[in-house]
Amino acid sequence: MHAKPLLTALLLPALLLCACDRESRDAAPSTTASGITVAPDEARKIAREAYIYGVPMVDQYRAVHIYSLEPNNPQYRGPMNTLVSNDRLFTPDDTAVVTPNADTPYTLANLDLRAEPMVLGVPKVDSKRYYVFQLMDLYTFNFDYIGSRATGSDAGHYLIAGPEWEGPTPPNIDKVIRAETPLVTLVGRTQLFGPDDMENVRKIQAGYTLQPLSAFAGTAAPPAPPKVDWIAPLSPKDARTSPEFFNQLAFLLQFAPVHPSEQHVRDRFAQIGIVPGRRIDLSALSPELRQALVDGMVDGQKLIDTRRNALTNRTDTLFGTREELNNDYIARATATQVGLGGNSRVEAIYRTYQMDTNDELLDGSRRYVLRFAKDKLPPVNAFWSVTAYRMPEQLLVKNPIDRYLINSPMLSSLKTDPDGSLTLYIQKESPGKALESNWLPVPEGPFMLTARYYWPKRELLEYEWSSPAVERVR
């Protein structure tokens, strides 16, 4: 029997695992409502729909809260509208982030665009070095990109505006990017060529700037937006089991203007009391109605799990714009649970390996190879990599040569086979000095591999090229 696919955690999924169970300590919205206007059977159906719709928003909010609204949290990175970079290499000792990306150190900001737009400035980046800024709204749509593929390698300034902004565009703005929600997450990635390249990455990260439009244009700042009493996020467990989920969703909907294609969806949610900025008085519900809400969550999770189990190792169609996902709410929820913050397929495609060609779980007690045929390396415009993680922790593997991945920038130092193919040796012990350049160390026990393909070419996007399988050799 195949194990359920374990998809790549890119940046934010770690927060979903680290948040602890706790009572809400923030003040809830003052308006309460207990008005469910439908019978329990119908309430259960609507709750199922609302759960699937709301999973991405509730999980995204948890990440935003931990990173930018919760100063006492160990993972706090700074207040809203602040750009923070991870300017060092991940190591096996980093336990707060699962499946850490050792290719592209991150730059992160959570934006609150209610008062005015923010302007992201980027320096000129060598065209041989890949970089990208992913813009994700509260729905978790990847609504735009800035970087090597999307905007090129030249320096520029990009105005990121919320849905209500109508001001003039000042000079020296290269592009105006409009978000559907006033809350936006900005995730930057800058290619690292190797451990000795970190200082160069830091210099590039230092050139990334983020400032309010008024500061950029030298004009008076607008009035501050209304103060928000940010509620505490639900723990991962409660977000799947507690009807308080629907109050969290209602809180977030006040920051999510209704899209024309979803008015009927919002009207339906209102039938079980999910109204933007209001709370359902759960204590006032009959036991039958309260149970209907819980059962609806269970039903919704089953649909998400069914979609997830059908994915095998391809998740690239789960991430994208609203237009690309076409209101496929199950796809959006599934994407959140397998890798919140995943890139759109035009930017990066990921393949995760847990099984070998014998349909057995990967284990360091055995030896494996990953073989790319001659002229069949991953077709990418930027670069590719293969990283090993020990399981079940999903952390980097401590090893005697401090090598956590093999990637395309290392090709000049890798040895090819007599027939021109490239073989990577996936094993715990060295394959010998002659082959050590191609060795990717793994732990003694269970492990997984993640292949990352940045800026994929047409052959990858159209499924003309497929990732090779991991072959067991002993």
Domains and CATH numbers, the chain: 13-70+228-339 (no CATH), 84-203 (2.60.40.1610), 348-472 (2.60.120.1600)
Q: Digits of tens for pLDDT over the chain (474 positions)?
A: 333 333 333 444 333 333 333 333 333 443 444 668 899 999 999 999 999 999 999 999 999 999 999 999 988 999 999 999 987 777 787 765 667 788 999 999 999 999 999 999 999 999 999 999 999 999 999 999 999 999 999 999 999 999 999 999 999 999 999 999 999 999 999 999 988 899 999 999 999 999 999 999 999 999 999 999 999 999 999 999 999 999 999 999 999 999 999 999 999 999 999 999 999 999 999 999 999 999 999 999 999 999 988 887 678 889 999 999 999 999 999 999 888 888 999 999 998 898 999 999 999 999 999 999 999 999 999 999 999 999 988 889 999 999 999 999 999 999 999 999 999 999 999 999 999 999 999 999 999 999 999 999 999 999 999 999 999 997
CA atoms within 13 Å, Cβ hemisphere of 269: 24
Nearest-CA neighbor of 234 among 51, 49, 462? 51
Q: Which residues of 155-169 are buried (b: 16+ CB within 10 A; e: fewer)?
A: ebbbbbbbeebeeee
pTM of the predicted protein model: 0.88
CA distances from 89 to 75, 129, 143, 258 (A): 17, 17, 29, 41
The kind and range of the H/E element at 425 are strand 422-427
How far, in whole angstroms, is CA 82 from its chain's centroid?
19
Q: 30: Cβ–Cβ under 8 A, 6 or more apart, which residues?
A: none
Paired tokens of 239: 């977000």
Q: 277: Cβ–Cβ under 8 A, 6 or more apart, which residues?
A: 29, 31, 250, 251, 253, 254
CB 11 within 8 A of CB 317: no
Paired tokens of 379: 């077709």
